[in-house]
Amino acid sequence: MASNNEEGALWSIMGYLISGLLIWGGIGFGLDHWLHTHHYFFLGGLLLGAGASIYLVWLRFGRQ
C-alpha cells in the first residue's frame, strides 16, 4: 500500500466494514426470519461480519 493515498485507504476501510456488517448481518437477519428466532442469528452475524472485515482490513493494510 502506497503511503501517499491515506485518504483512499480510509474510505476503503470504511467500505469493507460496511459491507462486512451488511452481508453477514443480512445473512443472520434472513436466518432469523426463516427460523423464527429473535435476533440471535442477526447479532451473531453482525459480530462475525465485523470480525471478518477487521481481519480483511488487517490483510489489506496491516501486513508489512
User: C-alpha cell of 31?
Assistant: 436466518
Q: Which of residues 3-62 bind another protein (CB under 8 A)?
A: 3-25, 29, 39, 42, 46, 48-50, 52-62
Q: How far apart are the first and last CA of the chain?
A: 9
Residue 31 CB, nearest approach to another protein (Å): 14
Decide if 42 contacts 32 (C-beta within 8 A).
yes
Q: How many residues bind another protein (CB under 8 A)?
A: 44
CB 46 within 8 A of CB 25: yes
Residue numbers at the binding site for another protein (CB under 8 A): 1, 3-25, 29, 39, 42, 46, 48-50, 52-64
